[in-house]
């Protein structure tokens, strides 16, 4: 069953979308989406940001 309303490409619903670690905005197909990888207690974590600005705020 094909859903004609779904976008081609990324298959992420808004509920599954990551949140910006700085401003908590949902990141859905944002071209400015940035991800950094950190290691916490031996666990790899991906930290998402809606923009390079939020990423630099986080890293400061």
DSSP designation for 51: S
Read out DSSP for 6-45? SPSS----GGGS-B-TTT--B-SS-TT-EEEEEEETTEEE
| Residues of this chain, 35-54, that bind Zn ion according to CB under 5 A | 50, 54
Report in angstroms how near the CB of residue 10 gets to Zn ion at its nearest: 18
Nearer Cβ to Zn ion (7/19):
19
21 binds Zn ion (CB under 5 A): no
Question: By the criterion CB under 5 A, which residues form the site for Zn ion?
Answer: 20, 22-23, 25, 50, 54
């Amino acid at each position: 069953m094909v859903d004609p309303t779904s976008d081609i490409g990324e298959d992420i619903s808004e509920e599954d979308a990551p949140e910006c670690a700085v401003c908590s905005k949902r990141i859905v197909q944002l071209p400015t989406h940035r991800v950094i990888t950190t290691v916490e207690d031996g666990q790899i974590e991906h930290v998402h940001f809606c923009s390079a600005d939020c990423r630099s705020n986080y890293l400061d």
